[in-house]
């Protein structure tokens, strides 16, 4: 079986969140099961400084956007520490513009007022990419049985495949394109790629696709909806989120189409890449440890983290950690309401995050108010993300919603007990410490059901109290979490089963 993954970010080359982690690891886990995998993403500037930098190939192609022809070229590398090939779509006008120093990311830039704003040509950038994926298949002669697409930047690919390549493509290739089956994974329904309808003709798609049952949603051209409508099979990143998004509360306006396709929708929890996230081997840590040596290794990581964040180095002070995009999804309004009280009572906070200016300003005010207790790194740093996972005692994830969440899985593995809102993947992966779950040795964290400050406060209070007053119970919860198997091999098996099912339906 051959499988091609297409996404707008891949760990090791360009990353803003968990999507990159998934597409950086899942293909290798599938390859370990004997599936012939490849990956394709845009060639951003950041990709050039990867550990195995991409090199140019001879494959070039041209695609029209509006009146203009845009030239593309394929580059190639391999996923870090694997043989899985990854192809890059070079198109300098669209993708060679990111520059961290200048506040220019892969999707957004920073305005002079310090706000993050989407590039105004994202519709053509990702329209081009979505179509270039199908050109890449032809040029490399890598004809996948399964074309696995991730999130809105690849949402137009199944529309191009069905409406352009399978119908009007070169006659000799139509049959090969017709044999491809598509899987579309929703990593986050809130990001839809909704653009003005007038962009449609420039993308080479006919107006008759702009209807409520195809690409139109609330008057906009909606890339995510295109994926939901045109892909053969849909998945999302946890069973709970698969259910939630069919309701008006979490459906982000697309609950109707999701309900229609409910029988083709599957929830599969993400995995952890053990080569990157393993406290026993993690090169970013001051002390490595596993479940048997957590008592020796973790204190070293905690002391190093306190020093790094200029907090008092104090072994028994509860240290809260957070690593997050600064976005409304992540529960910063609850953090703002609840955390000051804990800081007043001596607790410390180490936070790494990048994103919305409003949350940056809120966090800077918090540090001003509690300068000796709040440590902030308001930028992007892979090493510090690992150091917080290892050094903190308690990991905060009070997300308003969370399709899967990887950070709580990393913190479980690193013995850092998560405090989570019971939503999406957080509900599927963290077991609240109740008297029953504790008695059965199943508890792995502290959870709250209602998205309210009082509920978050109650869960966090239980966590801090347990840390301070019940070290043996703390150790039990920590060890239960560290022993969970959230490896990719489990999730990859579920994807393989779905792929095979889909191919049997041929």
Minimal distance, residue 353 CB to ligand ADP, in Å: 5
| Region from 108-116, 281-289, 351-359, 456-464 binding ligand ADP, contact rule CB under 6 A | 351-359
Which among 238, 406, 411, 417 has a CA at the least distance from the CA of 318?
417
Contact 362, 271 (CB under 8 A): no
Size of the site for ligand ADP (CB under 6 A): 18
Give me the 1-20 binding string for ligand GLC, x by CB under 6 A, dash otherwise: ----------------xxx-
DSSP string, 122-187: HHHHHHHHHHHHHHHHHHHT---SEEEEESGGGTTHHHHIIIIIHHHS-HHHHHHHHT-EEEEEES
Closer to ligand ADP by CB, 269 or 404: give it. Answer: 404
Closer to ligand ADP by CB, 199 or 273: give it. Answer: 273
List the one residue from 28, 203, 285, 323 that touches ligand ADP (CB under 6 A): 323
The three-state DSSP-derived secondary structure of 432-475 is: ECCHHHHHCCCCCEEEECCCCHHHHHHHHHHHHHHHHHCHHHHH
Give me the 409-428 binding string for ligand GLC, x by CB under 6 A, dash otherwise: ----------------x---
Is 185 a binder of ligand ADP (CB under 6 A)? no
Minimal distance, residue 409 CB to ligand ADP, in Å: 8
List the one residue from 9, 90, 135, 354 that touches ligand ADP (CB under 6 A): 354
Which among 80, 25, 497, 16 has a CA at the least distance from the CA of 270?
25
Size of the site for ligand GLC (CB under 6 A): 14
- Considering only residues 401 to 460 of the shown chain, the ones binding ligand ADP according to CB under 6 A are 404-407
- Considering only residues 184 to 223 of the shown chain, the ones binding ligand GLC according to CB under 6 A are 187-188
Binding partner selected for residue 400 from ligand GLC, ligand ADP, none, CB under the kind-specific 5 to 8 Å limit: none
Is 84 a binder of ligand GLC (CB under 6 A)? no
Pull the structure tokens for residue 386. Answer: 């690992």
For residue 137, give Cα distances in angstroms to 89, 96, 180, 471: 12, 22, 11, 56
Dihedral pair phi/psi, residue 348, rounded to 5°: -110, 155
Binding partner selected for residue 237 from ligand ADP, ligand GLC, none, CB under the kind-specific 5 to 8 Å limit: ligand GLC
Minimal distance, residue 181 CB to ligand ADP, in Å: 26
**The CA-based dihedral angle spanning residues 106, 108, 110, 116, taken in that order and rounded to the nearest 10 degrees:** -140
Minimal distance, residue 407 CB to ligand ADP, in Å: 4
DSSP string, 405-426: -SHHHHHHHTT-EEEEES-HHH
* Interatomic CA distance for residues 308 and 73, integer angstroms: 43
Is 240 a binder of ligand GLC (CB under 6 A)? no
Q: Strand pairing partners for 148?
A: 5, 183
Burial of 174 (0-12, 13-18, 19+ CB in 10 A): middle
List the one residue from 45, 300, 325, 500 that touches ligand ADP (CB under 6 A): 325
Minimal distance, residue 156 CB to ligand GLC, in Å: 20
Which among 419, 406, 391 has a CA at the least distance from the CA of 319?
391
- Considering only residues 262 to 291 of the shown chain, the ones binding ligand GLC according to CB under 6 A are 270
Which among 63, 61, 67, 62 has a CA at the least distance from the CA of 202?
67
- How crowded is residue 149: how many other Cβ atoms within 10 Å of its Cβ? 25
For residue 408, give Cα distances in angstroms to 25, 31, 209, 259, 487: 17, 26, 40, 29, 13
List the one residue from 4, 220, 224, 237 that touches ligand GLC (CB under 6 A): 237
Minimal distance, residue 325 CB to ligand GLC, in Å: 8
Binding partner selected for residue 54 from ligand ADP, ligand GLC, none, CB under the kind-specific 5 to 8 Å limit: none
Which among 367, 388, 366 has a CA at the least distance from the CA of 320?
388
Minimal distance, residue 468 CB to ligand ADP, in Å: 27
Is 144 a binder of ligand ADP (CB under 6 A)? no
Minimal distance, residue 185 CB to ligand GLC, in Å: 8
Binding partner selected for residue 127 from ligand GLC, ligand ADP, none, CB under the kind-specific 5 to 8 Å limit: none
Which among 248, 245, 249 has a CA at the least distance from the CA of 261?
245
| Region from 73-81, 246-254, 374-382, 495-503 binding ligand ADP, contact rule CB under 6 A | 374-382
Closer to ligand GLC by CB, 271 or 375: give it. Answer: 271
Which residue's C-beta sits nearest to ligand ADP?
18
How large is the greatest C-alpha to C-alpha distance in the chain, in angstroms? 72
| Region from 15-23, 210-218, 312-320, 359-367 binding ligand ADP, contact rule CB under 6 A | 15-23
Phi-psi region of 278 (alpha: psi -120 to 50; beta: other; left: phi over 0): beta
For residue 267, give Cα distances in angstroms to 30, 185, 270: 17, 9, 10
Is 276 a binder of ligand ADP (CB under 6 A)? no
| Region from 17-25, 211-219, 362-370, 446-454 binding ligand ADP, contact rule CB under 6 A | 17-25
Binding partner selected for residue 324 from ligand ADP, ligand GLC, none, CB under the kind-specific 5 to 8 Å limit: ligand ADP
Instruction: Name the site residues for ligand ADP (rule: CB under 6 A).
Output: 17-19, 21, 323-325, 352-354, 380-382, 385, 404-407
Return residues touching ligand GLC (CB under 6 A). Answer: 17-19, 22, 187-188, 237, 270, 402-406, 425
């Amino acid at each position: 079986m051959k499988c091609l993954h297409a996404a707008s970010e891949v760990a090791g080359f360009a990353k803003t969140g968990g999507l990159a982690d998934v597409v950086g690891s899942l293909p290798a886990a599938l390859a370990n099961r004997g599936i012939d995998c490849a990956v394709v993403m845009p060639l951003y500037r950041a990709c050039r400084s990867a550990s195995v930098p991409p090199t140019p190939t001879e494959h070039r192609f041209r695609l029209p956007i509006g009146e203009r022809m845009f030239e593309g070229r394929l580059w190639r590398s391999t996923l870090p520490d694997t043989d899985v090939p990854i192809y890059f779509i070079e198109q300098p006008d669209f993708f060679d513009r990111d520059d961290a120093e200048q506040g220019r990311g892969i999707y957004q830039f920073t305005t002079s007022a310090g706000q993050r704003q989407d590039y105004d040509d994202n519709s053509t950038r990702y329209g081009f990419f979505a179509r270039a994926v199908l050109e890449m298949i032809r040029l490399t002669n890598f004809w996948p049985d399964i074309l696995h697409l991730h999130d809105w930047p690849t949402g137009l690919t199944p529309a191009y495949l069905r409406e352009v390549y399978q119908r009007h493509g070169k006659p000799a290739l139509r049959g090969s394109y017709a044999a491809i089956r598509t899987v579309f994974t929703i990593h986050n329904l809130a990001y839809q790629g909704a653009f003005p309808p007038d962009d449609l003709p420039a993308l080479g798609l006919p107006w008759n696709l702009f209807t409520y049952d195809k690409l139109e949603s609330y008057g906009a051209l909606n890339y995510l909806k295109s994926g939901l409508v045109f892909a053969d099979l849909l998945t999302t990143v946890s069973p709970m989120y698969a259910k939630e998004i069919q309701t008006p509360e979490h459906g982000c306006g697309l609950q109707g189409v999701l309900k229609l396709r409910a029988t083709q929708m599957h929830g599969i929890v993400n995995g952890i890449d053990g080569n990157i996230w393993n406290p026993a081997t993690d090169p970013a840590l001051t002390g490595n440890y596993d479940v048997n040596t957590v008592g020796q290794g973790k204190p070293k990581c905690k002391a190093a983290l306190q020093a790094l964040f200029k907090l008092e180095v104090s072994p028994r002070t509860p240290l809260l950690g957070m690593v997050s995009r600064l976005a409304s999804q992540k529960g910063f309004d609850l953090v703002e309401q609840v955390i000051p009280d804990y800081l007043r009572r001596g607790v410390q906070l180490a936070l790494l995050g990048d994103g919305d200016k409003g949350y940056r300003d809120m966090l800077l005010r918090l540090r001003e108010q509690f300068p000796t207790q709040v440590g902030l790194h308001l930028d992007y740093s892979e090493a510090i993300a690992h150091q917080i996972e290892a050094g903190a005692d308690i990991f905060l994830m009070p997300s308003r919603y969370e399709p899967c969440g990887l950070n709580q899985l990393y913190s479980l593995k690193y013995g850092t007990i998560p405090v989570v809102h019971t939503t999406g993947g957080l509900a599927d992966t963290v077991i609240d410490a109740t008297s029953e779950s504790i008695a059965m040795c199943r508890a792995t964290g502290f959870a709250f059901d209602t998205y309210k400050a009082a509920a978050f406060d109650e869960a966090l209070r239980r966590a801090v109290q347990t840390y301070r007053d019940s070290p043996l119970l703390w150790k039990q919860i920590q060890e239960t979490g560290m022993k969970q198997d959230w490896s990719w091999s489990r999730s990859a098996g579920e994807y393989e089963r779905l792929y095979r099912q889909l191919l049997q339906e041929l």
